[in-house]
Structure 1
């Protein structure tokens, strides 16, 4: 699905989101799928492709925390360069005996523009083998759009998205691995995790007046419903349960109008002298 704008129009970035399930400890197969979808996204005019959390090694914390993320990042950089497309991908990062879930943004020439370590680890499975990141994501310019990275559970905390917005982010890219839990799936926990992509993500986009590209693994074990949401809280593109590539346009004119219509961030800054922004908000 696309929003109908000319992809070459100034201030418009076409974004693709890959929804698929990474095979555990099978980087060659997973990276080949990324390469195939990157080529497909580029052919459809996308300038950026966002992929799910730990897709290249598969999401299974206890089984992949020793994965060679450096080698995978090298191959991901090559995929970006081969297809002339920006790429957001999540890998394992190692430092001084500690392991992190990280996300990287690769430029269309393969340069790694920024890397972020997940701050909010989800549940015992992640907490037992990974270390929590300590720094907020950097805001970088990508194709004229100010972009920041988050990972999965991060976006479920209002403060995380708000800090990124106040730092100047216009697009938040979120590799994700949300498991499927619902009454239909027989889970005792009554919380339906499909509410995260269907409700929480558009709400974060609305309340922080930004675009969010949220890439989840596919069913049946994950919630799917990968989403691209705009600053009005609209889901511009949404996947179903299975493997899918969705596309939508990040249009800075829409962002500017949304901030003009309801100036949440400006009101926050004017009402709270201690709130600061690292880049001017339009």
Structure 2
């Protein structure tokens, strides 16, 4: 019988500079290196960090060259890295032209192994805001989870996790851990005169939504955000018990959490949402039901 794995998962956050790829890659190398020194075997980094989060500009940079540099960061630190870039289809492929003409631009998240190999690349399905919708093409579907070290991993990007369908699809496909690069801007909106209960803060995504997604689907979620001017920070690792195992503030930082697969299994015995859903829908049991 295979030994039940324990993974050491990290999220990192920092302040990126728009269009300064060299500086941003240097920041990532420092943060990933610190996570590796603290024992991480998987490090999740923020959405479009290498270019800075500016979808209307990020596609102008060489996505393939950025992915090569990100692979080098993983290889230098000897740790698996989840990082984001723009994936542009060659023009003339019939893959749909964006506002810039030529091939479609998609926001991607790649999983680079400790040897620098790109093991997986997925595309963001849910586009956030008018700028992304103008310049970026959405992914066709949620990516299937992948298997590594006796654990099944799902990957999404930012706004994907705000839709319950994403986490549920990953969990029903057997995912144990969701890895999510993100870029959450500061948004504070409310109804005047009605108090805090009628006020929205985008900081609620990491404080409330991510732990709720983890709880209702019996998964761990590692969610890495930008910090600095205009961003909420709050990168976190949420457990299937609906709580934060780590939650960073608004400054640059690294959080590393040991995740035993046995603890995920225990949470699923407490809250049997997935098998109960399968019964209600008349479905055959899914891999995550056990």
Answer yes or no: same fold by TM over 0.5.
Answer: yes
Q: C-alpha displacement at 1:249, in angstroms?
A: 1.5
Partner of 1:88: 82
Partner of 1:24: 18
Of residues 23, 35, 59 in structure 2, which corresponds to 1:65? 59
Q: C-alpha displacement at 1:281, in angstroms?
A: 3.8
Q: Distance in 2 between matches of 1:229 and 1:89?
A: 19
Of residues 226, 229, 251 in structure 1, which corresponds to 2:260? 251
Q: Structure 2, unaligned stretches of length 5 or more?
A: 92-102, 191-197
Q: Does 1:214 align with 2:220?
A: no
Q: How does 1:197-212 map to 2 (within 5 A)?
A: 197-212=206-221
Partner of 2:7: 13
**Deviation readout 1:106-161 (Å, 9 max, x if unpaired):** 11111111111000000101000000100211211233321111111100000111
Aligned residues between the structures: 270
Secondary structure at the counterpart of residue 247 of structure 1: strand
Secondary structure at the counterpart of residue 120 of structure 1: coil
Of residues 132, 151, 159 in structure 1, which corresponds to 2:157? 151
Of residues 119, 135, 142 in structure 2, which corresponds to 1:136? 142
Q: C-alpha displacement at 1:271, in angstroms?
A: 1.8
Q: How does 1:225-264 map to 2 (within 5 A)?
A: 225-264=234-273
Q: Does 1:168 align with 2:174?
A: yes
Q: Structure 1, unaligned stretches of length 5 or more?
A: 1-8
Partner of 1:5: none
Q: C-alpha displacement at 1:86, in angstroms?
A: 0.4
Secondary structure at the counterpart of residue 128 of structure 1: helix
Q: C-alpha displacement at 1:71, in angstroms?
A: 0.4
Of residues 99, 102, 109 in structure 1, which corresponds to 2:115? 109
- Residue pair 2:171, 2:288 contacting (<8 A) in 1 also: no
Q: Distance in 2 between matches of 1:65 and 1:276?
A: 41
The TM-score, its normalising length taken from structure 2, stands at 0.89
Secondary structure at the counterpart of residue 131 of structure 2: helix
Q: C-alpha displacement at 1:75, in angstroms?
A: 1.0
- Residue pair 2:124, 2:156 contacting (<8 A) in 1 also: yes
- Residue pair 1:17, 1:214 contacting (<8 A) in 2 also: yes
Q: C-alpha displacement at 1:183, in angstroms?
A: 5.5
Of residues 271, 275, 278 in structure 2, which corresponds to 1:269? 278
**Deviation readout 1:254-280 (Å, 9 max, x if unpaired):** 101011111111111122124774x45
Of residues 6, 23, 29 in structure 2, which corresponds to 1:35? 29
Partner of 1:6: none
* Larger Rg belongs to: 2
- Residue pair 2:74, 2:113 contacting (<8 A) in 1 also: yes
The TM-score, its normalising length taken from structure 1, stands at 0.91
